[in-house]
Structure 1
Amino acid sequence: MHIDLKTVIDTSALTNFLRDMSLQPPSTRLPPIRKIASQPTEELSDALAYLRHIYIPEIRGARRIKLNDTDASSSSKALDPNGLHELRADAFERSYALRWLTFLVAQAEIWDSESSTTESPQSVLREALIQDAASLLAICSGTAAAGVIVRDFVFRHGPKGEKTSKVHIKDVPLDNRDYGSVGAQTWGGACVLAETILDDPTRFGLLRNDSSAENLRILELGAGTGLVSLTVGKLLQNAAPSATIIATDYYPSVLENLESNIRHNFPSPLGSKAVRISSHLLDWSVFAKDPAQNPPFDAPFDLVLGADIIYEAQHAIWIKSCLMTLLKKPSQHSDPLFHLIIPLRSTHSSESGTVDSVFSHMSGDAASGSEMDLKIVDKEIILCDAGSGLGPDQIEYACYKIGWR
């Protein structure tokens, strides 16, 4: 069972009633410790999902504030509607959750001795359950190495919210020796971009009612954990035309985790019938100087996406140089675009400001016949709750639409 909300959800297998009632303390909500051994695997899985909902922190800045809110500042009142932060801070309940998880993990040896074969479906389910419990136990204990967090993002979309897309994402620990490994974590900008795409796919040139359209080529720059690319893949997996999605990054640890997330969401080596998705190394600084024409970069793309990828002064310059080769030129039937979303951080204001200066804004009085350049076609500001629960705390995102003009 999955919680059913329009905004992005960062827990998995969470029961629907959480939407409508206050959270119950683990000591009353979870199956009694003495009865864990006799509980069905499904019940224990739901219990773990419940604990993840409480103790795994939300992704900061992933919840949009709707434009029709009468008072955006009052949104902080909705940050903790069920007393989640108070419950998370309750020392007794955390202690009980730790004891409950410890007992569940200890069941592993008993279950192993009872199992006639380690390959049985029940054994596989139990092994996954124990691994999940052990990871959550480390997180709840504050273990420094507990950096692996698994989330199921569940998006409801469609004209009447009748469709559901689920994306399974694993965040892995940061590599302290490599600052670029921050891409191994899911950031709020990726959540916002993924949800924005599902809200209005046609704005991104997706789900077009054009039977003659050729295979779509979609590129994500700085894909990180792959949430955006995987969300697009889920959206298009039963659609036409077919699509090839190339999720790129540079850092080895990030690429390894990205590939793992792709395999989990699209087990087939080629994805689904309509979608082929894969991860690839792309070094912007190198490609900008010497744009290699090797696959999959030997043909331009219909759509390029980027979320929270500008945090150095050179990034916008390198990205534009890459797009000069990688973004398809417009035609009578298509207008290829680069959609970029970046948080407006005070600590990185000069870096984010380079987007406006490097791409500049489209001018209405451009000379006829002049050579096309990559320009900002549109810029929108999106406000999001930061999710701290500590009063008014918001994050601004700038959403750019960049194309050939």
Structure 2
Amino acid sequence: MGGLVGRPLPPTSCLPPPRQLDSLSETQISCALNNLFAIYHPTAVPKSVLHEACKPYKPSTRFAPLTDSGYNSGYTSENDDDDDDDNVASGEERGLALLRADEFERAFATRWLEKLIARAAEDAYEPLACFSSDEARQTTVEKASDLLTALLNFGRDDAEQEDDAQDDSFCREFAFARDISVRLNDGLAGRRADDHTDVGLQTWGASIVFCQMLCDSPARFGLSQTSLGCSPRIVELGAGTGLVSLVLAQLLPGLGLERSTLVATDYHPAVISNLRRNIAANLSASSDCAACPVQACVLDWALAEMDPAWPLGDDPADVLFATDVIYAHEHAEMLHACASRQLAPDGVFWLLQTVRRNGRFGGVADTVEAVFGKVVTTGGALRILDSQRLEKPDSVGRGDEASFELFQIGWSG
């Protein structure tokens, strides 16, 4: 397949439904991405890379009436006059601007990219098998992530994007007891104030406080061979930048748990991409060759009760960890379903939730007790076994964070 198409197609025309991703070739996926680059990031990929593989789907008619846009004039005219060429170019730019500004098309492209990134990841459940090499798979994920950032940045002025670019390269270093240190990229590029699904792009106070507690007193959380054996399976829910999992990777070998399986999970594509970078950077730079490996995994809590194809498989977790993961009232219910599916019968779930009394997240932490409840009767439900209110250190967290609530959760019967 080759041949120049010459103009980008609307996302609703060139992108197949996510359920058809398995039927696409590597070339078709690459071409679909190049088409999106030509619309939303035109300086990154030249038009000459657009191939006929972008056209196996029925063209959209949403832009057909826009004759003034220049969608067709530039490719049917045989007039070589310079003025006509200028008019054609101007018309093409107007057409692209209209397409680029179309909210429906942008939303369609954003959802498609999120699905592609989730399926293209090598650790995804049933990852796409069309890639010729691991390098090609990684290139696809990186290109899709770049496009997603461009879409999320649409409409923001240069100053805002420059600030975010600086934030994206901002690395934070954390040091804890037992000579444990972690260096993280707080990847804030593309963050939207109204999108709570990508809050994991920055390291929040709760994870810092929790790591301090883990390193100061691991026995408090049952992190020992006596409690867990030699090779426990430990899963972090809503891992964000990966601080807790990366601290555990360095902490566990010194406790005799060097054969532990560590899985850091999250859902938002940009968060997962940043999480993988942090894992790779810290484990490759670690001077402790005995550090436990950490696997990143895409996990959607909403699928816990309905999807037989669970990304974490059938192996239960001996320990679950989560810090500051509830940002809406329904999140506690989804978290309960996820933990109920994943936690071993004798396992324990440690949840440290930030208490915010003001703002749009005010009172959300109260949903933990409302959903999980306290143990009052016997039975097979996942319940709060113990809880403790923790004061927020002055040097940690944001102004809207009042305190933290530590929950020990397990099976009640």
Closer/same/farther in 2, CA of residues 289 and 254 from structure 1, 3 Å limit: same
TM-superposition CA deviations, 1:156-212 (whole Å, max 9, x none): 2xxxxxx210111111124245542221100001101111111211122213347x9
Map of 2:248 onto structure 1: 232
Equivalent residues, number:
247
Q: Is the 8 A contact 2:207 2:323 kept in 1?
A: yes
| Residues 85-96 of structure 1: pairs in structure 2 closer than 5 A | none
Of 184, 202, 206, the residue aligned with 1:185 is: 202
Q: Does 1:361 align with 2:365?
A: no
Counterpart CA distance in 1 for 2:408 and 2:306 is: 24
Q: Is the 8 A contact 2:165 2:189 kept in 1?
A: no
Q: Is the 8 A contact 2:262 2:295 kept in 1?
A: yes
Of 385, 393, 409, the residue aligned with 1:402 is: 409
Matched AA of 1:219: V
TM-superposition CA deviations, 1:94-147 (whole Å, max 9, x none): xxxxxxxxxxxxxxxxxxxxxxxxxxxxxxxxxxxxxxxxxxxxx9xx945311
Closer/same/farther in 2, CA of residues 144 and 304 from structure 1, 3 Å limit: closer
Map of 1:264 onto structure 2: 281
Higher helix share: 2
Residue 180 of structure 1 aligns to a residue whose secondary structure is helix
Residue 314 of structure 1 aligns to a residue whose secondary structure is helix
Matched AA of 1:318: M
Map of 1:168 onto structure 2: 183
Relative contact order (C-alpha < 8 Å, sep 6+): which is higher? Answer: 1
* TM-aligned CA deviation for residue 289 of structure 1: 2.5
* TM-aligned CA deviation for residue 292 of structure 1: 2.7
Closer/same/farther in 2, CA of residues 388 and 231 from structure 1, 3 Å limit: closer
Counterpart CA distance in 2 for 1:249 and 1:354 is: 21
TM-superposition CA deviations, 1:252-311 (whole Å, max 9, x none): 111011001111111299x955623110000001223225345x3321001001011001
Q: Does 1:203 align with 2:220?
A: yes
| Residues 45-84 of structure 1: pairs in structure 2 closer than 5 A | none
Of 272, 293, 302, the residue aligned with 2:318 is: 302
* TM-aligned CA deviation for residue 344 of structure 1: 1.0
Counterpart CA distance in 1 for 2:191 and 2:297 is: 23
Residue 343 of structure 1 aligns to a residue whose secondary structure is strand
Map of 1:72 onto structure 2: none
Q: Does 1:150 align with 2:171?
A: yes
Residue 188 of structure 2 aligns to a residue whose secondary structure is coil
Counterpart CA distance in 2 for 1:337 and 1:389 is: 26
Of 377, 382, 390, the residue aligned with 1:382 is: 390
Counterpart CA distance in 1 for 2:409 and 2:317 is: 14
Runs of 4+ in 1 over 4 A off after TM superposition: 271-274
Matched AA of 2:188: P
Map of 2:343 onto structure 1: 327
Counterpart CA distance in 2 for 1:305 and 1:394 is: 20
Once superposed, what is the RMSD of the aligned Cα atoms?
3.1
Map of 2:266 onto structure 1: 249
Residue 218 of structure 1 aligns to a residue whose secondary structure is strand
Q: Is the 8 A contact 1:311 1:351 kept in 2?
A: yes
Q: Does 1:223 align with 2:239?
A: yes
Counterpart CA distance in 2 for 1:251 and 1:394 is: 23
Q: Is the 8 A contact 1:172 1:185 kept in 2?
A: yes
Map of 2:380 onto structure 1: 372
Closer/same/farther in 2, CA of residues 393 and 182 from structure 1, 3 Å limit: closer
TM-score (norm 2): 0.55
Counterpart CA distance in 1 for 2:255 and 2:384 is: 29
Counterpart CA distance in 2 for 1:174 and 1:205 is: 37
Residue 321 of structure 2 aligns to a residue whose secondary structure is strand
Counterpart CA distance in 1 for 2:380 and 2:214 is: 27
Counterpart CA distance in 2 for 1:389 and 1:243 is: 30
Q: Is the 8 A contact 1:221 1:249 kept in 2?
A: yes
Residue 329 of structure 1 aligns to a residue whose secondary structure is strand
Q: Does 1:284 align with 2:301?
A: yes
Matched AA of 2:328: E
In structure 2, stretches of 5+ residues that fail to align are 1-158
Closer/same/farther in 2, CA of residues 387 and 199 from structure 1, 3 Å limit: closer
Map of 1:351 onto structure 2: 364
Q: Is the 8 A contact 2:224 2:256 kept in 1?
A: yes
In structure 1, stretches of 5+ residues that fail to align are 1-138, 157-162, 331-335
Q: Percent identity?
A: 33
Q: Is the 8 A contact 2:208 2:396 kept in 1?
A: no
Residue 303 of structure 1 aligns to a residue whose secondary structure is strand
Counterpart CA distance in 2 for 1:272 and 1:325 is: 33
Counterpart CA distance in 2 for 1:179 and 1:352 is: 15
Closer/same/farther in 2, CA of residues 218 and 272 from structure 1, 3 Å limit: farther
Counterpart CA distance in 1 for 2:172 and 2:186 is: 8
TM-superposition CA deviations, 1:291-343 (whole Å, max 9, x none): 5345x33210010010110011111101111111100002xxxxx21111111
The farther-off stretch of 216-225 and 177-186 is 177-186
Counterpart CA distance in 1 for 2:218 and 2:296 is: 22
Q: Does 1:339 align with 2:355?
A: no
Matched AA of 1:279: A
Q: Is the 8 A contact 1:309 1:342 kept in 2?
A: yes
Matched AA of 2:174: F
